[in-house]
Amino acid sequence: MRFYPSSMSAGLWRERNLRAEDAHFVGTYLQPGETFVDVGANVGQLSLAAAVRVARSGQVIAIEAHPRIFKYLLGNIRLNRLTIEVHNTAIGSAEGELVFTNFRSDDMNFACATSPADGAALRVPVRTLDSIVGDRPVDLLKVDVEGFEVDLLKGAVQTVANCRCLYIEDSELNLRRAGTSRAEMYKRLTDHGFELFHLRAGRLEPASPDIPGPDDDNLIAVRPSALSDLLARTGLRLAQLTSPSSVDRRFPAARLA
């Protein structure tokens, strides 16, 4: 990856293993020939890893809203001579346009209703995820949109219905800034038939808005029928619950730590 003047590039320059847990999950979960959708791709760390993993028989769709960061994403794709479908747009519940912050800490930019007080903002197009993905099946959908996750899900009904697993940012602080909550995001995902987990120390812990945790977490949403396959691919284990028998009934083929 090139050392572009961006927060993510600088972070990876200082610490090669920055966000290694994300890269490891994506790299171990995906298999050749599968499809990965990266919403909030930034400079492409995960999209590049996914493209190598799924190989030419697979497909990667990388979506980045900020026009400057999108150019850096394109540069990294070209540097690695990879075939990745790219879209320079924000993702939301409806087509249109929105205000997007333009902070120097560019990995923390987000969609907002009005321009911030310091005026560091620009306008970007908005599309629904369904309009981009269509009826293509998705093996792994990664979402990091700094609190705009619920609005994204509203415009991704078909995509989510065709998705086996989601890896999605889980920040109550960011969600509340966007006018929603962790509880609403969790409900939308469970209504789609997903089981929810947090990845901590190599284990999957059942996730609930009633269980306190760090505000910079990532949520794994997986179909119950695909959970055993996820564990087998990644080598992860299910964390022991208070009542092991309840886990055995829900996940008979899953391994417990």
- pLDDT per residue as tens digits for the range 128-147: 999 999 999 999 999 999 88
1 located within any domain: no
256 located within any domain: no
16 located within any domain: yes
59 located within any domain: yes
d(CA 236, CA 84): 28
Structure-block tokens of residue 141: 């959908």
29 located within any domain: yes
Listed residue (156, 36, 47) closest to 91, CA to CA: 156
130 located within any domain: yes
- pLDDT per residue as tens digits for the range 80-124: 999 999 999 999 999 999 888 887 776 777 777 666 655 578 889
Look at strands 90-91 and 195-200 and give their pairing.
unpaired
Q: Is the pLDDT score of 249 beyond 50?
A: no
d(CA 123, CA 111): 9
Q: Which residues of 168-195 are buried (b: 16+ CB within 10 A; e: fewer)?
A: bbbbbebbeebebebeebbebbeebebb
Number of structural domains in the chain: 1
In the chain, DSSP assigns E strands to 35-39, 59-63, 85-87, 90-91, 96-101, 111-112, 121-127, 140-143, 165-170, 195-200, 203-206, 217-222, 237-238
Domain range spanning residue 202?
7-250
Q: Is the pLDDT score of 243 beyond 50?
A: no
26 located within any domain: yes
Look at strands 90-91 and 96-101 and give their pairing.
unpaired
Listed residue (132, 124, 187, 192) closest to 160, CA to CA: 192
Q: Is the pLDDT score of 242 beyond 80?
A: no
* pTM: predicted TM-score of the whole model, two decimal places: 0.88
Q: What is the CATH number of the domain that holds 177?
A: 3.40.50.150
Q: Please, are residues 22 and 44 in contact by the beta-carbon 8 Å criterion?
A: no
80 located within any domain: yes
